[in-house]
Amino acid sequence: MATRRAFSTECERLTTPIQKREVHAPDALIIGGGAAGLTLALQLADQLQVAIVCKGPLNESSTYYAQGGIAAVLDAGDSVDKHVADTLSAGAGLCHEDVVRYTVENSTAAIDWLIDQGVPFTENESGPAKYHLTREGGHSHRRIIHAADATGKAVSETLTANARSHPNINFLPSRVAVDLILVDSDEGRHCAGAYVLNRDTGRVECFSARFTVLATGGASNVYLYSSNPNVASGDGIAMAWRAGCRVANMEFNQFHPTCLYHPQARSFLLTEALRGEGAYLRLPDGERFMPRFDERAELAPRDIVARAIDHEIKRLGIDCVFLDITHRPADFIESHFPNVRARCLEYGLDISREPIPVVPAAHYTCGGVMVDLCGRTDVSQLYAIGETAFTGLHGANRMASNSLLECIVWGRAAAADIFAQSRDVALPEPAPPWDESQVTDSDEDVIISHNWEELRRFMWDYVGIVRTTKRLQRASHRIQLLQQEIAEYYSNYKVSNDLLELRNLSVVARLIIESASARKESRGLHYTLDFPAPAPLAIDTILNPAEFAATD
C-alpha cells in the first residue's frame, strides 16, 4: 500500500529537467470543479488568485448529475435538532455529532448563498413558502430544496458561469493531477502544489501554490456498476494517501438503490425523490417487497433499500426490479421529474405508463481523507473538501441530499481558514520540472484496459453490497498482485489519463478492502455475512500510510 516512501520514489523521476518548464503559480490550486471546488473558488476569488484544474470539460462532475436536491432547515415546522437526529440515525452510530450539528446549523446560510448566486430552485405554486420542498429516504420532514429533478445541473451551471466570469479565477480543463508537490522542513511536511498532466498536449505541468485543495469527488468507479461520471476515480484520496494523509471509513460505499437498468444506458440514476413522491418498488409479478424489509418501506435509508433489492435479485435470479410511479397523475410526473421522464423516453420507457427497470449501483464514497472542521488534512497547506474528504458527517451511511450541503458548507469553511492563514504563507519556489528521461511511450495500452476491467469486476463481486471474509481475502490477494503490475507499468512508461486513473483506483481499492477487512461487524453500508450484527461500540476505521509497506 502507498506510504510516505511513495513520495521518495516519485522524486526519483523528477531529477532531470528534460521538458520545457511550464509553471503556474496561483495562490490557491483547486483540483476538481464540482460544487465543493466551485464554492471555495468563488469565496476566495475576491482576494486571491485561484486556478481550478478539471479532468474533463467544465461541469463534468458528480455534482452535475445529482438530481434530488439539497437538505437544509428551511421550513418553520422543521428544526436543526430534527435534521441532526435524522442524520445520526441514518449514520448508524458513526456520525460525529459535532460535525453533523455544525453542518446543519450552517445549512440555511448555505442555501441563501446559493440563491444569491442565482441557482433557480423550484418555487411553490401555492402556499406561504417560496420554494418547494420534497422528502427523501431517511428524512422525517420535507426539507429537500431542489431545481426540478436536475438540482446538481442547476448548481453546477450557475456556479461555473459565475466562476468563469470572475477575473481572479482561471479554469484549466482537460487536466488530471499526477501527484502533489511536497516539501519537508524543520516545521514538518507541507504541500506546495501539484504536477498536472495536460491531456491535450501530453505534457506534465507544474503548479506551485500557497494552498492546494483536493475536491476531486469520490471513487465509485472502482466498481463495475456506478452512477458516477467517468472522472470519479478517487484521485484526491489516492494522492493524499501517497502524501502521508490518513483516511477513514473507506469501507462505507453507498450503492444507490435505483439506477436505470437498460442495455443501452450507462447506469442513469433515478432520483430518491421519486420514492419520496410515492413511487413503489415492485418485483416482476407486481408485488411490493420493501414492506417486508423495513416499516419505512421505500423511504428506508439507501443501504436497506439497496440490500433488499440485491437480496430479491439473487433470490429470484432476476436481472432487475421495478420502480413504479404510474399511480401518480401524468402531469404531476412531467412537472416534477421532467429530466427522468425525458431520459427514460430516450430508451422507449414512458414512466407515467410503465414501471422502470432498476438495479443498485455504486454511488457515493462515505469515507475519505481525514480533515478537521476547516477542511485541513494531515499535511500543512493541503485541504480536502466534498466527497474526497472524511468529515464525520455521513457516518456508516450518507442520508440523501446531505452531500451537496456538505460541499457548500465545507467550501465556505475552507475559504475562511485559507483567508486566516494567507498572510503567513508565501508562494513556494517552483518545483523541478517533470522528468520523462527514463520512460518511453507505451505500446501495450491493452494492459491498462484489462487491469481496469479486472479491478472493477472483482471489487463488484467480492467487496460489493454484501461481503464475506473469504471474498475480502480473495480481493486482497488480487489487488496486491494488480498493484505490483501497475507500479511496474507506471515506472516504465509515460503517464496518461487512463494509467493515472487506474493507479489511483488501485490505491482506493486497497484502502476499501483493508478497511472492510478490519471491520468485524455489519453496520450501515458495510454488511458482511460472517458478522451480521453490529458491534457494541461504533468506532471509525482509520488507516495511516506510515503503517503500511509501500506497494504503490
3-class DSSP state of 386: helix
Amino acid residing at 552: D
What distance in Å separates the CA atoms of residue 28 and residue 39, rounded to the nearest whole number?
Answer: 13
**Which segments within 244-306 are labelled E, that is strand?**
247-248, 253-260, 280-282
What distance in Å separates the CA atoms of residue 552 and residue 540, rounded to the nearest whole number?
Answer: 24
Secondary structure element (H or E) that encloses residue 140, with its range? none
Q: Provide the 8-state DSSP code for 121.
A: P
Q: Report how many helices (DSSP H) and strands (DSSP E) the chain contains, helices first.
A: 16, 20
Cβ atoms within 10 Å, residue 340: 26
What distance in Å separates the CA atoms of residue 281 and residue 290, rounded to the nearest whole number?
Answer: 7
β-pair type (211-214, 389-390): unpaired
Provide CB contacts within 8 A for 403, sequence distance 6+.
66, 364, 387, 394
Provide CB contacts within 8 A for 79, sequence distance 6+.
73
What distance in Å separates the CA atoms of residue 159 and residue 165, rounded to the nearest whole number?
Answer: 10
What distance in Å separates the CA atoms of residue 194 and residue 428, rounded to the nearest whole number?
Answer: 12
3-class DSSP state of 426: coil
Q: Are 522 and 533 in contact (CB under 8 A)?
A: yes
What distance in Å separates the CA atoms of residue 411 and residue 311, rounded to the nearest whole number?
Answer: 38
β-pair type (247-248, 204-208): unpaired
State the catalytic residue, choosing from 143, 246, 302, 341.
302
Question: Judging by beta carbons within 10 Å of its beta carbon (0-12, 13-18, 19+), is residue 225 exposed, middle or buried?
Answer: buried
Of 532, 475, 524, nearest in space to 367 by CA? 524
Q: Provide the β-strand partners of residue 247.
A: 369, 543
Q: Which three cell numbers stand for residue 550?
A: 509501500
Question: Judging by beta carbons within 10 Å of its beta carbon (0-12, 13-18, 19+), is residue 352 exposed, middle or buried?
Answer: middle
What distance in Å separates the CA atoms of residue 478 and residue 506, rounded to the nearest whole number?
Answer: 10
Q: Which CA distances in Å does 201 have to 55, 331, 393, 496?
A: 14, 49, 40, 11
> Does the active-site annotation cover 302?
yes
Q: Which three cell numbers stand for residue 228?
A: 458516477
Provide CB contacts within 8 A for 124, sequence distance 6+.
130, 131, 132
Of 31, 9, 27, nearest in space to 176 by CA? 31
Which residue's entry shows cell 458548507? 409
Q: Which three cell numbers stand for residue 365?
A: 464514497
Which residues have a catalytic role annotated?
302
